[in-house]
Structure formats: C-alpha cells, structure tokens
Chains A and B, each alone.
Chain A
Amino acid sequence: MDLGISATEFTSQVNDGIISVEEFVAKTLDRIKKVDGKIHAFITVDSQNALDKARVIDKKIKSKEKIGICFGMPISIKDNICTAGLKTTCASKMLENFVAPYDATVISKLKSEDAIIIGKVNLDEFAMGSTTEFSHFGPTRNPWNTEYVPGGSSGGSGASVAAFECLAALGSDTGGSVRSPASFCSVVGLKPTYGLISRYGLVSYANSIEQVGPMAKTVEDVAFLLNILSGHDAHDNTTAKDMRIDYVKDLKSGISGKKIGIISQMTGDGVDKDVERATNGAISKLQDLGAQCVPVSIDAVEHSVAAYYTIAAAEASSNLSRYDNLRYGFDFGIEGYEFKAFISKARSNFGPEVIRRMLLGAFVLSAGYYGKYYLKAQKVRTMIKAQLDEAFKNVDYLISPTMPILPFKIGEKIDDPLKLYLTDINTVTANLSGIPAISIPFAMSSSGLPIGIQLFANSFKEKELLQAAHALQETAKLPGIAI
C-alpha cells in the first residue's frame, strides 16, 4: 500500500474498493509510530478513535450507505484549532491540558464529510514563529533533513504531510505560517482570502489577518479541501457571503494568455542563489505555458514586516490576555495569591517568543504610542492593499519565491529574533492585504532542500489562483522523500 498517494487519489481508490479505510488508517498510524520519533510532527495522536471511525466508514461503504466526500481521509490538525474532546494545546504550557468543549467550524465541516482527525500537530507556541522551534513540546524537524527546521508556524502540519503521516493537514497562516512550512517541506499550502474560511475555533493570535489554510501534496487536494472548508459561518462575523464556487472544476484550465507580475521587492537582493534560480525557472516554465511575465513594483512591501509585527503583536497582546489560568489551563494552586501576583505568576509560563510579542504589542497600544506605531502600521496596510489593487488592474497574478532563503538548521537563528522576522518578507503582504497566496513545491536546492514558489491573486480569486498553481505544479520534477 502506498501512503504517498494524494488525498484525491485516496478517495477514488476507496470508492473503487481498491483499498479499505481501516487498512489505510492503520498503515498511517504505523507510519507515525515509525517516523514521528525523528520528526516530532504530532503533539497528540488519536489512534483508537481514528481506527474506530475508519471501521464505521468501511461498514457504511459495504452497506452502500451515503458517506461524505472525504471517505475517511486521515487529516492532521494544527494544535491551535479546537477539536471537541481532543486536546488543543497551542504548543503552550498555558493550555497543555486544555480540551475544548466544541469543534471549530472547519473541524465540523471535515467531520461531516467523513474526514478522520488522526491527530493534532505541532506549531510555534500560539503560532508565533516561523520555524516550529518555539513549541513547549520541543521542535518539529524537517522530514527532508531532520537537522533542519520545517518552517513554521504550521511546521507539524507541513512535516506530517511531507512524511506521509497523513493525507492532508490544516494549518493557520497569520504571516506566512502555512506557506513557510509548505515551502520548506515541499508540500502545497494555501493562505485563502481573509473571510473565505471561518476562524471560529481557531485560537486567535492576530485575528484581523489570519486564516485557516489547507496543506496537501497536490494543488488538486488543496482545491478539494477548499470546497469543504470555505463558506459563510454565522459564528464568524468576518466571513464573506457564500459564493458557491467549485474550486476543483476547471482546475486544469491552464494559464495561457494570463499576465503574471514578478514582485521586484521580493526577488533579487537578499534572496538565496538557489532560490533565485528556482524562481527564474518557474517564471520561464510559466512563460512556456503561454503566460506573460512582467516585473511589478509594490514598494510598500519594504514596510510590510514592520507593519506586520506591529499589528500582529498588538492583537496578540489582547488575544492572549485571557490566558490567566483561572478558567482553564495547567495545574497551578491558585489559593493564597493576591490577584495581581497570581496573574503574573501564572502568565510567566508563556514561552520567550510569546512574551516578546505580547510586550511589544502592549507597548505599541499604550497611551501616547498608538498613533506613532499602531495607526502607522494600519496606514502601511492600506497602502499595500491599494498598491496591490493597482497592480491587479494590469496582471492576473503576482509571483515570488515563498521564502527568500533555504531551510536552515535547527537552533541556527533562534537567538536572533530580528533575523527570523525578516524571513517573513515575502509572506506577510498577503496577510496584511487579505489577498490569497499559495506556495507550490517547485525545486530542490543543490543541498537537497525544498524550494517553494508563491503565487498571489486578488481577493476571492482562489479559483484562478489554483488554476495557475496547478499549471506550475505540473512543470515541477521533484524527487521522492527518503524517510
């Protein structure tokens, strides 16, 4: 049995009776047992429940009962998305024992289509980081080379898909957290338009810019998941009206005659040589397919990282205030403390990156500084969106490398936050403006590390974006994973 098949191949093989769900899930669980010691993608594996569900689905198939379109597809879920009855830790000491009493909307949707939640996967604490090193439970390792980081913060999601520990995964993307691990782990990862997918049940880090995003082996799988995940949700006032778009249909329309803008601020200076070569390769492949590629300048991008960290930190400082360990959390004797002493003692259990961002956020929101930092960052945001709108008048897509650099070694940049923040330069633009962006595995470096290419489209143009991504994916020749 091949665990390396795509999610959509799986559904047709199950439908055709070639494989049983129980068999596939059992093999997947064996795989997790075998490789996850080295990768550490999972925080929680829900083995028994996954097997039980698989058997139920097999029975339904046998008795020809109606079943959901996921056919028991094993999916891993980033551990900041709430799952009823299964721990949601956010990779934090603060929530190490937290079990949500409810399912996130995306989880209900997957379950109602008979997806199997095989486990919860690792992330940087509260999704703050781009390497998955800042986890209370220890770092996740890159399946392509376990000395290296898998990207982040959805590192567990990316690694689990790459290492065949599941067929697909959900991540969340606040500043690149789906696309960075997609790029570093050689999988496909989509950050949808803000408002396309419900955030209800996604533990907020920076709520004005983040989205849940699907990650899988192929663009088709991502389109398939987007059909399930997207749509208006009464529980999330920021979701857009239903558009009833079928993202799978016409996926292979190609990109002949389309115009693609190469963002000059995201290519050239500061980009790794191998990454630059891969980007140029992707551009020439797209031209071969009939697209016209032109350079485009979005100069507000130069301020994007500063604006991103200001806004994200401000929102984080407020969103994470609720973790005071009064209502839920970790074991902590509360009696005998005066309230303020209790709060500071309890909240000292956050990790260093979370504390850094909460402090930064509290500072930029404090009296007298709001206008100087927060409002300015919001202005940059408006500027970026305006410049993108202008660009999309002339082009259908924008293109850049997803990450300006190759995956680096675990521990290499952990002590230099500023250097780490700067690696987000190509991804935060989509979050600040709300537009969709996708990372497609395109090449391997001379050192054998994955390189992803990023495509952008204007808001709610996911269908067109996925068509271009699919076309690019078909031109890539990538090796199989060795693990």
Chain B
Amino acid sequence: MTKIGLEIHCQLTKLASKLFCSCKAEYRNAEPNSNICPVCAGLPGSLPMLNKKAVEKAAMISLALGCTIPEKIGFFRKNYFYPDLPKNFQITQYNAYGPTSIGSDGKIEIEGKTIRIRRIQLEEDPGRLVYEGTSEKTMITLVDYNRAGTPLVEIVTEPDFETPKQVRMFLNVLADLVENIGVSDPYLEGAMRVDGNISEGDGNRVEIKNVGSFRDIEKALHFEITRQQSLVERGIQVLAETRHWDEARRITVSSRSKEEEQDYRYLPEADIPIVQIGNNSIEQIKTQMPESIVARRERYIKKYGMPAQVADVLSSDKFYSDLFDKSHNEKNAKEVSNIITTDLMGVADTREKKIELKITPNHLSDLADAIVANKLTRNSGKLALHEMIQSGKPFADVVSSLDLGHVSDAGSIEKVIDEVFQEEEKAVMEAKQNPDTINYLVGKVMRKTKGKADPATTLDILRKKLAV
C-alpha cells in the first residue's frame, strides 16, 4: 500500500508586513534586495519584532483545519548554514520539547476520507537563490533577500494519502480554504509550496522536494510510486533519501546531500517572549473568521434551494461566492447563482481573468432581476452579460444599446410569426402534422427577434395558429 504525507508551506500573503519587521510581505515586484531592513537582512544587533497579526492568521488556519491551539506558543531557532538564510538560522516553531506550535492534531475530510494534520507552525521564509549561467563552471548564484522574513505557515499532514489524486484534491481544498479565510492568495507564484514523503508497504520513506506547482506534485508522486513499485518488484530495496523533482525531465532525482543527517540544533528563540493565546482570544479569533466553505455550502442549499452541485462549485470559489453574496436578493438568488455558475465561471476561470472582469454586483443583480421579471430572455441575458464583462457599462445602457428589450406583447410576436409562416410554408405543413417539429418554427421566430421574443408566448401563439 502506498502512504503519502505532505508538508505544505503557505505564505500569509494577505498580511501587510513581514513576520518580524515592517518590510512589506509582498516582495514579488520589488528590485532585488530592496525590500529589506536590518531585521530581515539579519544585520548584527537587530532583533525580531513579532507580527501579532501573523499569529492570528496562523491560528485561523489551525482552527479551520480542526487543530488544537495551545494556551501559549513559542518560537525556536533552526540552525543551518545556507546562503538564502540571512542569520543562518530560521525562526520557526518546534514541538519536541513540549508543544509550542500554533496548531496540532487536526483533521480534514476529503470526499469521505480523513486526512490528519500533525501540526501547523508559523515561521519565516528564507530569501531566494537565483542561478545564472548554464554549465557548472560558469554558474553564478545570486541571492535576493526580498522574500526573507515573509510570514509562512507550515502544515504537516500524517501519511494518510493513498493516491496522488487524493493529494491533488486535498491541495485544492486547502487552497480554497486559505483563500476563503483571507490569509493567503494561493495562486501567487511561490505562495503555496508542497513537499511530499512517500513509501510503499513497509519500505523506506522518500522525501520529494522542489516541486513547483500542484499539478507537478501529482506528476512527481506518480513517477515516484512507479519507481518504487518497480524496485520492489525486482526485489531491490528503496533507499531512504531526499529526491528532487526535475521539472524539465519530469522525473525525481536523488539529492546528493544527505539532508536527513542534518542536526538543526534547535534552540528556544529568547528574543521573542512566549505568546499567551488563551481561550478568550481563540474565541475572538473565531468571531473574526469568515464563514467556512462547508457552512456556506449548507446555507446555499438550505436558504436558496441550490442544487448540491451548484452549491459545491459556488461555495468553494471565494471570488464567485463573494460576488454571489453581494449581488443576490431574496427573489433573484437562484438566477444569480445560475448566471455565475453556467456563464461567468466559464468565461473567467483563472485568477488573471477574474481580475479583468468588469462586472459588478449591481450588474449581476440587475440582470437577474430582469430575467426573473421576464423582461429579458436567458439568451439576451447572455449577450448582456458578455457586454458588461467587456465594457463595464450599466445594465440599462447595455440593454438599450444592444436592443435586447424583451418582446412579450402578443401583437408584435404575431407579426413576426406571420412573416415566418410566409417564408416557411413547408415547415408549417410539417408542424401541423407533427407537432414535435414546432420548435423549428420557434427558433425561426427567435432568430428574427434576435432572441428577444418570449419563448412561452411565442409557443402559445404558434400552437393557436397551427391549431395543434
């Protein structure tokens, strides 16, 4: 049996400042080594100042993953030499000398399967190494400390996954969850990074590192399972080692360094006094947390009668569920959810596209109202939606400029039907004999009215005229 465990590093990208200083937490577009100060650059004499907001956000993640939060938390130093680490130690949390990390012993259900969370810890991100040059000889390593000190939450799971697909589903749920709490934007480059550990049967555990994206972790795990299984089949023992995912060659490669032998010489971080959390502040944090995805899904089903599938899709997407919650009223809720899940989500399914959307809650609400009041057909609604997405013009302007007003008075529709009857004599005959073909005529009327004719009224009049 395959056993897979994960270590996920999730940056708290929604915080204004780094974990221990006032430099910006968002480092991505800054000139190299410009988003630094004596603290995050680890200059002699500087001391860390704990960002209390980061503790709150990490507590929120812990609560959302069902973890226990201790009454007090502390920080430890993890000592190792690496050029991306300004102090040559990382300030993190450590539980071997009594629990001090922000969360432990949680669990989360993924499609009926329970994934246990071993612990959640708050720590600082190191800087970034950039390699230039191609061959070993001309290789230059550049260091950018802009990222150093960015608040990071490490989530460690028990080895409860059996397939790469479960891992992928878990990661999607986790990404939705951190986005929903408002602590992180998991789709920013490097905001969520995953290491895996994997073993077959009673075999040795192999760590997989350097995986760039969620899709790649699935590929890396697949490769690693196949590799380990074929070794087992041939009677060769799997080595306990760390392997790196080679994105270009799509294989895992053994790391030359024996990282498992490294002794991190953990030491309490005396510069940051023990933080008292206590039950009162946990309750306070709970009140600040937004509605969970599960609770939101329930609300959608119970309050608006959404089908489970629609509620699933909508509740797990923070952007669209926020849009829904801001747009709908009692009467048009179902229509708003329809527009979002059937039309809008298809148009804008990525972060970039979502940002480009010019649609506002007002647009959606007006549109849904018009459809509910039968002033606009669904077809015209689609046209109006696409125009509003592009131009951002008010709904009323779009309707008049595209001439989308609903035609529901019997007189105008009858006129059009008469025209159609003249042009489609053969079809009319056919429809009289076989009423099932009547839809062809409805279609003709719709085309002539550019979709504005009310389908129900059209059908009524047609039936009357054809006497079927």
Chain A residues within 8 Å of B, Cβ to Cβ: 80-82, 88, 90, 95, 98, 100-102, 104, 199-204, 207-208, 234-238, 314-315, 317-318, 321-324, 326-328, 339-340, 343, 362, 365-367, 370, 374-375
Q: Which residues of B contact A200 (CB under 8 A)?
A: 45-47
Q: Which residues of A contact B48 (CB under 8 A)?
A: 237
Given contacts A102-B38, A208-B270, contact A321 B47 (CB under 8 A): no
| Structural contact, B89 and A318, CB atoms closer than 8 A | yes
| Structural contact, A235 and B81, CB atoms closer than 8 A | no
Q: Which residues of A contact B263 (CB under 8 A)?
A: 366-367
Q: In whole angstroms, what is the CA distance A323 to B43 when docked?
A: 9
| Structural contact, A100 and B43, CB atoms closer than 8 A | yes
B408 at the interface (CB under 8 A from A): no
Q: In whole angstroms, what is the CA distance A324 to B82 when docked?
A: 10
Given contacts A104-B45, A200-B47, A203-B44, contact A318 B265 (CB under 8 A): yes
| Sample of 11 A–B contacts (CB below 8 Å) | A100-B45, A102-B43, A204-B45, A204-B271, A207-B47, A238-B270, A315-B270, A321-B87, A324-B81, A374-B267, A375-B97
Q: Which residues of A contact B81 (CB under 8 A)?
A: 321, 324, 339-340, 343
| Structural contact, B79 and A100, CB atoms closer than 8 A | no
Q: In whole angstroms, what is the CA distance A287 to B86 when docked?
A: 55
B272 at the interface (CB under 8 A from A): yes
Q: In whole angstroms, what is the CA distance A111 to B41 when docked?
A: 25
Q: Which residues of B contact A236 (CB under 8 A)?
A: 47, 49, 271
CB distance from B263 to the nearest CB of A (A): 5
Apart from A102-B38, A102-B43, A322-B42: 5 A-B pairs, beta carbons within 8 A: A200-B45, A237-B50, A237-B271, A321-B87, A362-B265
CB distance from B381 to the nearest CB of A (A): 56
Nearest residue in B to A340 (C-beta to C-beta)? B81
| Structural contact, A207 and B45, CB atoms closer than 8 A | no
B83 at the interface (CB under 8 A from A): yes
Q: Mark B22-40, 1 if CB is under 8 A from A, else 0.
A: 0000000000000000100
Given contacts A365-B265, A370-B266, contact A88 B44 (CB under 8 A): yes
Given contacts A204-B45, A237-B47, A362-B265, contact A321 B88 (CB under 8 A): yes
B278 at the interface (CB under 8 A from A): no
| Structural contact, A327 and B266, CB atoms closer than 8 A | no
| Structural contact, A326 and B143, CB atoms closer than 8 A | yes
Q: In whole angstroms, what is the CA distance A80 to B45 when docked?
A: 8
Q: Which residues of A contact B18 (CB under 8 A)?
A: none
| Structural contact, B44 and A324, CB atoms closer than 8 A | no
CB distance from B49 to the nearest CB of A (A): 6
CB distance from B33 to the nearest CB of A (A): 10
Nearest residue in B to A206 (C-beta to C-beta)? B270
| Structural contact, A234 and B265, CB atoms closer than 8 A | no
Q: In whole angstroms, what is the CA distance A370 to B94 when docked?
A: 14
Q: In whole angstroms, what is the CA distance A199 to B270 when docked?
A: 12
| Structural contact, B86 and A365, CB atoms closer than 8 A | no
B394 at the interface (CB under 8 A from A): no
Q: In whole angstroms, what is the CA distance A203 to B43 when docked?
A: 9
Q: Which residues of A contact B47 (CB under 8 A)?
A: 199-200, 204, 207, 235-238
CB distance from A360 to the nearest CB of B (A): 12
Q: Which residues of A contact B271 (CB under 8 A)?
A: 204, 207, 236-238
Nearest residue in B to A204 (C-beta to C-beta)? B45
Q: Which residues of A contact B83 (CB under 8 A)?
A: 326, 339
Q: Which residues of B contact A340 (CB under 8 A)?
A: 81
Q: In whole angstroms, what is the CA distance A370 to B77 when docked?
A: 14
